[in-house]
């Protein structure tokens, strides 16, 4: 499905570059009464976003350094890694690539992280909300489109179908534990904003945008097929961008304030609701393929 959509885009001289911010939580592994128990002890002290003290634990740094070496040997471009906000949470940022290659590289990255953590008797998890009171774990998608002038209709198409796309990007019941307002996860409202991390779609610069409403449990091929397919349909339909730039947290606005910005929809709050939205979105179903959607 993803290959077909990319090829269709090429027929119209449209191409994409994709990169990912992949968040992961490393947990200790203990055996209690013969059963593995994960996350019993924190594995780093002074842990916070980009905090250097979170890199002082020799055990975790041995894991991270081995991951970096294996990624380099696999010719996967790792632009950056750093601690994130939740206990034991780190982020690995991959370089931009064409869509299929980008997903291939992301899955290889996940496998390398899993295997290295296991080797050192740690548990690596991409569960979206491993700790109820801490930040969640996502797999943010960075996208850019060529030609640049097509990007308003492209991202308008994504916003139009975003509630149905959520069935692919938030593909597990636990995904919806992370779907909260005011915690930099993208929030609940269908909206976009320039450098706004409280909207699911963030404009970074020019035709470079970030989709925040995806996590590590999604099937990235299907998710990206839905995202790019909806955007490409937006180009074909010359979809107008009716959502205005939201510069604040949409959850802090009243209904009138959101209406003025064109923010009139929320993302599904559960997997059954997301699947219902997908079932009703005949256009997106046709883009992905009816047989594939039914099987999913």
The answer, yes or no, to whether residue 40 has pLDDT greater than 70, is no
Q: What is the pLDDT of residue 43?
A: 67
CA 106 – CA 65 distance, rounded (Å)? 18
Q: Which two tokens stand for residue 228?
A: 């790019």
CA 173 – CA 150 distance, rounded (Å)? 35
Q: What is the pLDDT of residue 293?
A: 97
The answer, yes or no, to whether residue 45 has pLDDT greater than 70, is no
Model confidence at 31, pLDDT cuts 50, 70, 90, reads confident
Give the mean pLDDT of 102-122: 96
CA angle, residues 185, 220, 48, in degrees to nearest 5: 35
Host H or E run for residue 9: helix 2-11
Model confidence at 51, pLDDT cuts 50, 70, 90, reads confident
The answer, yes or no, to whether residue 170 has pLDDT greater than 80, is yes
Residue 248 main-chain phi, psi, to 5 deg: -130, 175
Residue 205's DSSP bridge partners are: 208
CA 210 – CA 109 distance, rounded (Å)? 20
Q: What is the pLDDT of residue 62?
A: 93
Give the mean pLDDT of 110-119: 96
The answer, yes or no, to whether residue 46 has pLDDT greater than 80, is no
Residue 150, classed as helix, strand or coil, is helix
Model confidence at 162, pLDDT cuts 50, 70, 90, reads very high
CA 187 – CA 137 distance, rounded (Å)? 14
């Amino acid at each position: 499905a993803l290959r077909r959509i990319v090829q269709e885009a090429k027929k119209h001289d449209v191409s994409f570059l994709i990169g990912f911010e992949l968040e992961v939580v490393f947990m200790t592994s203990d055996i209690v009464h013969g059963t593995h128990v994960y996350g019993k002890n924190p594995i780093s002290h002074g842990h916070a976003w980009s905090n250097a003290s979170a890199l002082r634990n020799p055990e975790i740094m041995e894991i991270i350094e081995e991951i970096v070496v294996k990624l380099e040997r696999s010719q996967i471009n790792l632009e950056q890694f750093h601690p994130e906000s939740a206990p034991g949470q780190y982020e690995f940022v991959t370089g931009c690539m064409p869509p299929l290659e980008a997903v291939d590289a992301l899955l290889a990255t996940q496998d390398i992280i899993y295997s290295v953590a296991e080797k050192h008797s740690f548990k690596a998890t991409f569960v979206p909300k491993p700790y109820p009171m801490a930040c969640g774990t996502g797999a943010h998608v960075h996208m850019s489109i060529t030609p640049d002038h097509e990007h308003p209709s492209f991202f308008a198409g994504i916003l139009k179908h975003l509630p149905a796309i959520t069935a692919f990007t938030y593909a597990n019941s636990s995904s919806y534990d992370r779907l909260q307002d005011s915690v930099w996860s993208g929030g609940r409202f269908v909206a976009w904003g320039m450098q706004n991390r409280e909207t699911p779609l963030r404009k970074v610069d020019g035709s470079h945008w970030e989709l925040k409403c995806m996590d590590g449990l999604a099937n990235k091929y299907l998710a990206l097929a839905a995202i790019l397919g909806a955007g490409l349909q937006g180009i074909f339909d010359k979809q107008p961008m009716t959502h205005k730039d939201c510069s604040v947290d949409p959850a802090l606005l009243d209904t009138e304030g959101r209406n003025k910005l064109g923010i009139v929809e929320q993302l599904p709050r559960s997997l059954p609701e997301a699947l219902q939205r997908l079932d009703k979105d005949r256009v997106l179903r046709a883009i992905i393929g009816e047989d594939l959607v039914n099987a999913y």
